[in-house]
Amino acid sequence: MPYPLSGIKVLDLSRVLAGPFAGRMLSDLGADVVKLEPPEGDVTRHWGVKRGDISGYYHQQNAGKRNIAVDLRHPKGVLVVKSLVKQADVLIENFRPDVMARLGIDYETLAEINPRLIMLSISGFGANNPDSRRAAYAPIIHAETGLIARQAALTGAFPTELPLSVADTNAALHGLVGLLAALYARAQSGRGDHVEISMVDATIVTNDGLHYALEGQSMGVTNEVHETAAGLLMLAGEFKYIWKLLRSVYHVSDGLDPAQDVGLADKIAARRAASKAFFTKTCGDRDAVILALDKMNIAWGDVRPAEEVRELASVKARASIQEVDDRAGGTRPIPASPYNFRHLASAVRAGAPHLGEHNEAVLKQWLDWSDAEIKDVEAALLTKPLHGIEE
């Protein structure tokens, strides 16, 4: 089956997560994604277990891409970028908002070179505002947009970071939506565009419960983990709803005398104790717990450590984790492409690239450069470490 983005050329200048994740998804959909890194490489090349000299983190976010290593501080490095832009459909970058202009490769400059170019820029706080120059990583955005405070309020624990970089991945996915919309529009108009995404905006719009805070209300439904004979289970629905079902379907009693004046806190404590007894003793094993939950139509999930995600039946059936080349003669696991089509293909097509692995191949295939032309810019390829460019 054909890949939906086959023939699309993507130049990926991004680092760490938000930009690289967007580029990885484009690669899974068939685009030729060339990651352009400074000579010292993306910092994530040092994160996680290395196999075939590729770290786990870099592997997950950059599988399927090709790679060239270019010093953007060198005049010939900028020449390489501008030459590649002439052939590119898409450029991805996630520097701070003023960095591309300082390098001389801002959208206005590149659009003159290639009016059909679609540029995706992802930054923490967006361009042209007092926060634009602030360093922004996912934990900072989680804190500034209320996610960490909400988690602390719900759990009663001291504020702590979230266990995933949702601000980055949300920005990447919203960036993909905008980018693909611009590609569709270009098919009619012939004109490219600049898609500018802030992690703050992406986090705010993706927070389905933000309306409570904006309108001065409490946080709404709180889902909880319950102790059961089936182990720790996350049950969907606040406890008030679950208790109502336990009473109506299984006639569970809190044991309180209706004639006595019992305070709300004591009522809740008694009902929680009765609920725990039902799920741990009345339902004596896993099958009984699951049968009861299904009868009450309560959605449930095992509190599963991430290393056991492969044991989830749907993950097995859908091959949600696949094995790809580990660049050392074997394979290593990676999250598979999430897109399943009826008539089109989507897949992780290769392992992540080594730094500068495709310098010559990309310059010849994208630009049709000769050996002499490549030699003319070799001073900008894999030279001294780059300093002063902020991400």
Domain match, 253 and 332 both: no
Domain match, 156 and 279 both: no
The domain that holds 354 is classified in CATH as 3.40.50.10540
Domain match, 144 and 251 both: no
Domain match, 168 and 247 both: no
Pairing of strands 331-335, 321-325: antiparallel
10 Å CB burial of residue 48 (0-12, 13-18, 19+) is: middle
What's the distance, Cα to Cα, between the start and end of the chain in Å? 38
Residue 216 forms part of a structural domain: no
Task: Flag whether the pTM goes above 0.95.
Answer: no
Q: Encoding tokens for residue 246?
A: 């336990």
Alpha carbons 226 and 246: distance in angstroms, whole number = 14
List phi, psi (to 5°) of 301: -155, 140
Q: Which residue has the tokens 């010093």?
A: 71
Number of H helices, E strands in the chain: 16, 13
CB contact at 8 A, 355 and 382: yes
Phi-psi region of 310 (alpha: psi -120 to 50; beta: other; left: phi over 0): alpha
- The catalytic residue among 12, 28, 168, 254 is 168
Give pLDDT, residue 391.
Answer: 41
Question: 3-class secondary structure for 350-390?
Answer: CCCCCCCCCHHHHHHHHHCCCHHHHHHCHHHECCCCCCCCC
Pairing of strands 90-93, 9-12: parallel
Domain match, 135 and 266 both: no
Q: Which residue type, as a one-letter code, is found at position 382?
A: L
Domain match, 86 and 167 both: yes
Alpha carbons 352 and 21: distance in angstroms, whole number = 12
Residue 105 forms part of a structural domain: yes
Residue 159 forms part of a structural domain: yes
Domain match, 66 and 129 both: yes
Domain match, 44 and 163 both: yes
Domain match, 297 and 252 both: yes
Residue 391 forms part of a structural domain: no
Domain membership of residue 22 as a residue range: 9-210+324-380
Of 354, 348, 24, 34, the residue nearest 168 (C-alpha): 24
Of 390, 367, 357, 388, the residue nearest 62 (C-alpha): 357
Last residue of a domain, one of 248, 280, 306: 306
Contact residues for 142 (Cβ-Cβ < 8 A; gap 6+): 148, 161, 162, 166, 167, 203
Last residue of a domain, one of 280, 306, 332: 306
Domain match, 154 and 91 both: yes
Is residue 193 among the annotated active site residues?
A: no
Residue 387 forms part of a structural domain: no
A 10 A CB-CB count for 170 gives 22
Domain match, 228 and 206 both: no
Residue 317 forms part of a structural domain: no
Residue 163, CB half-sphere, CA atoms under 13 Å: how many?
2
Alpha carbons 151 and 227: distance in angstroms, whole number = 21
Alpha carbons 153 and 281: distance in angstroms, whole number = 31
Domain match, 249 and 276 both: yes
Number of domains the chain contains = 2
Of 330, 346, 243, 276, the residue nearest 25 (C-alpha): 346
Residue 316 forms part of a structural domain: no
Residue 77 forms part of a structural domain: yes
A 10 A CB-CB count for 313 gives 7
Give the pLDDT of the chain (391 residues) as one tens digit per residue: 999 999 999 999 999 999 999 999 999 999 999 999 999 999 999 999 999 999 999 999 999 999 999 999 999 999 999 999 999 999 999 999 999 999 999 999 999 999 999 999 999 999 999 999 998 999 999 999 999 999 898 888 999 999 999 999 999 999 999 999 999 999 999 999 999 999 999 999 999 888 888 888 877 668 899 999 999 999 999 999 999 999 999 999 999 888 888 888 999 999 999 999 999 999 999 999 999 999 999 999 999 999 999 999 999 999 999 999 998 999 999 999 999 999 999 999 999 999 999 999 999 999 999 999 999 998 999 744 444 444 4
Alpha carbons 162 and 274: distance in angstroms, whole number = 32
Last residue of a domain, one of 306, 339, 364: 306
